[in-house]
Amino acid sequence: MSTRAIRCLTQDHIPFEIVHYEHLRKGAGFAALATGFPLERTVKTLVLAAASGRYALALLPGDRQADMRRLAALLAVKRVEMADGAAAERLSGYRVGGISPFGFKQQLPVVMDASLLAHASILINAGRRGMMLRMDPRALRDALGCRVGAIGEPDSHAAH
């Protein structure tokens, strides 16, 4: 099964491997558990809302939570917050729980947590619940033109 994300990566000749799992719950913690992949290498894609109807994406390891002040600074806005699920689905064209940063309906700025670049490979949503992409985080950064920074802090609620 193909998704817009997979078609986008294929068209741009970006290597990836598809990893399937039984999607019973949303969240990077469940995806990491179901795939046997480390949580710190399982990426969550967050849709952020800023003032004036502006949106952005944040890519964080599953064991970290977004630092909204750092994100706002990297995006050069006063404040950001999580977008609601309806806005995230409208902007991405994907369902919450399967949102991929690839193949978005409109191009948004993307901020990536620097810690992801320490790994040889990461897992990120492929655009459908229960389907992930295993890929090089540097290819992810380059393909999306990510701004990179320390945008996450330890998530005390993350399932390890």
pTM: 0.92
Token code pair at residue 153: 């802090």
Residues in the chain: 160
Distance of CA 69 to CAs 40, 57, 78, Å?
A: 21, 14, 8
Put the strands of the sheet holding 122-128 in their side by side order. Answer: 17-20, 131-135, 122-128
84-109 pLDDT, tens digit per residue, is 999 999 999 999 889 999 998 888 99
- What pLDDT shows up at residue 157? 62
- What pLDDT shows up at residue 158? 57
Concatenate the DSSP letters of all residues of 23-73 into one string. Answer: --S-SHHHHHHHHT--GGGBEEEEEEEEGGG-EEEEEEETTEEE-HHHHHH
- What pLDDT shows up at residue 112? 97
Q: Distance between CA 119 and CA 136 in Å, rounded?
A: 8
Instruction: Indicate whether 46 pLDDT > 80.
Output: yes
Confidence of residue 160 (pLDDT cuts 50, 70, 90): very low
